[in-house]
Amino acid sequence: MLEQKQDESAQKQPALVLPFSASSKDRTLSFTEEMEMAAIFIAAESDRKKGEGLILKKPAEELIFITRSCYPIWLVPWSDKTLVFDGLGVSTHTIQYEVLPDIKQFIDDVQGSAATRQAYSAALLDHLHYFEAMRSVEEKTVLGLVTSLTFLQDFQQFLKEGEESEDSEIKEVCMTPNIDESSISASLKELSDLKATLELEIRSLRDAMRLLNSTTKQHATAIREETREIQADLDKRIAEAKSASMEKIRVIQEKYDVRILKASQRSDKQLQELHQERVKLEKTLERAVGKIERCDTEIQDAKTRKDAMGERRWKDEKETWKREASTLRKSLEALDKQIEDAESQKKIEIANIRAEFDAQSEEAMKEVRELEATRESKTQLSRQEIKALDDSTSTILGQLDALTKKKRGSLEDLGKIGMKEQRRKTALAYVRFYLSCLRAEGKRKFRVYPPSIAGTMKTTTRLKGMLGMSKLGSLFPPRSKAIAIVLNQVTTLAERDPVFEKELYDAGVQTNILKTTESRERILKGLNDLRNEEWLSINEVQTLSGQLRA
């Protein structure tokens, strides 16, 4: 699982080796390999527990080794992207996708029933929830595939700093990929198959939608055409029936016009006689009133003459005419009542005749009304049939459209799993990193130090030092948290795989940069260089130097 590249040459083509450290844009001073080693030594010592605790004091951790290694990353061209595979295979990517019901079966059912509306409508109702009830979700897990968007963006930039190196030129201990090109090819085939399946499903869903739209439109057009033909036939029959009915109504109207005329003439004659009688009574009443007025005059004259006998006689005559006038008024009232009754009777009689006429006219129009009702009912049934087809089609189209959007989303997600740049061939990249091993009470613990950026001493950094805070966080921060997460999977694999842990430990002990005098001297030089840049104080350099020589 681990191999030292200067001793073997298994790789047929040069590997792309990525640097561990790089200087920030505002750093003008050179950041030497000695400074890099010193910075890692400082970090490892900082991580080492010194045996804290007053009551239950824990034993201090021992720094067993620090080694520089290389993490394998496969760069694999696929589609128009470059996929990134974690060479150790710790990373995985799980793809979830919906398994659709048999779309071909659905299309065959629709096409098989499309010839007749009844069969087509029944097929739509049978499949109304076909794409809702039968869906299931499956998963595909791709071993080693790294899909973190942040990682891909950071790693794509990082690759620009890589250099191709032959196996013999790589000095670090490189981890042998657990995932080889054959397993990657199998994963690519699965991804390609899934991509092809998604594309096929999208095409099939769109074909099903087009089929539904066209078939429903075809039947709706046929219904409208049939309705137009039926309406044209009924309009012709209605026109013919209406013509015949109007002739019947004309004959009926002539008969009833005669009846109305006779009834009117009879009523008018009776009313004329009553009115003539009333005129006579009114004139008689006027004469009686005139007589009464004359009597009043004669009575007054008699009084003037003091003719008692004459006054008496005119008073008696006045009373006679008053009785006559009263009788005449009562007769007039009775006659007015007769006139009113006669007029009312005339209206009722004529209204009854008209009602009979209307009834017979409506009977004559019966066939027309029935044909009109037939036309309206067939129009309504046609509208209802078209609406039922449209509603069923719309429901299924909504389900198909939702599935198509999901499938397109899955296809788009599949297109985001790699870097945008495309490579011509599969390549193996090695990411340099440092690894330390600490031991306490027989237990070993590994710590990964990912590629970092050498910073510059700024005012805020100096202020931290004045406040007693460490300035080293500003000196050598990791270049990418996402890349650091992937590299830290070394420790994850070591915890769950004892064989890998043993090989990792043995290789680290063998390549420990602390075990040779030359390496320690280089670290000491790096500490002094950091001191010269004011990253370390004199006391810190002395303490670290003592720990290095211990």
The residue whose two tokens read 């992937």 is 486
**Rounded to 10 degrees, what is the CA torsion of 438, 533, 34, 42?**
0
Tens of pLDDT along the chain (550 residues) come to 555 443 443 345 678 999 999 988 888 888 999 999 999 999 999 888 876 655 556 788 899 999 999 999 999 999 889 999 999 999 999 988 888 888 889 899 989 998 998 999 999 999 888 888 656 788 889 999 999 999 999 999 999 999 887 766 677 778 889 999 999 999 999 999 999 999 999 999 999 999 999 999 999 999 999 999 998 998 999 999 889 888 888 988 888 888 889 888 888 888 898 899 889 988 988 998 898 888 889 889 888 888 888 889 898 888 899 898 899 899 889 989 988 998 899 899 889 989 988 998 888 888 889 989 999 999 999 999 999 999 999 999 999 998 899 899 888 888 889 998 878 889 999 999 999 999 988 899 999 999 999 988 764 455 444 434 455 667 788 999 999 999 999 999 999 999 999 999 999 999 999 999 999 999 999 999 999 988 888 998 999 988 887 6
Domain spans of the chain?
2-71+149-169+446-549, 229-376
Residue 428 burial (CB count, 10 A): 21
Contact by Cβ (8 Å): 437, 501:
no
pTM listed for this prediction: 0.70
Q: CA 270, CA 263: separation in Å to the nearest integer? A: 11
Would you say 435 and 447 are in contact if contact means Cβ atoms under 8 Å apart? yes
How far, in whole angstroms, is CA 435 from its chain's centroid? 48
Contacts of 248 (CB under 8 A, 6+ apart): 364
Q: Beta 15-18 vs 427-440: how paired, if at all?
A: parallel
Are 439 and 62 in contact by the 8 Å Cβ rule? The answer is yes
Q: Cβ(90)–Cβ(100) under 8 Å?
A: no
Instruction: Count Cα atoms within 13 angstroms, Cβ side, for 84.
Output: 27
Write the single-letter amino acid at 424. Answer: R
Question: And the tokens for 412?
Answer: 């788009």
Residues shown for the chain = 550
For residues 184 and 87, the answer to whether their CB atoms sit within 8 Å is: no
- Half-sphere exposure of residue 327: CA atoms within 13 angstroms, side-chain side: 8
**Which residue type sits at 415?**
G
d(CA 497, CA 494): 5
User: What's the rounded Cα separation, in Å, for the pair 14 and 30?
Assistant: 28
CA-based end-to-end distance of the chain: 32
DSSP 378: H
- Alpha-carbon distance 275 to 267, whole Å? 12
Let me know: does 106 contact 400? Beta carbons within 8 Å: no
Q: Any idea of the CA torsion for 277, 283, 285, 291, to the nearest 10 degrees?
A: -150
Report the Cα 56 to chain-centroid distance in Å. Answer: 59
**In contact, 76 and 187? CB cutoff 8 Å:** no
Task: Please say whether the beta carbons of 212 and 205 come within 8 A.
Answer: no
CA distance 154 to 419: 10
Q: By the 8 A CB rule, do 164 and 23 touch?
A: no
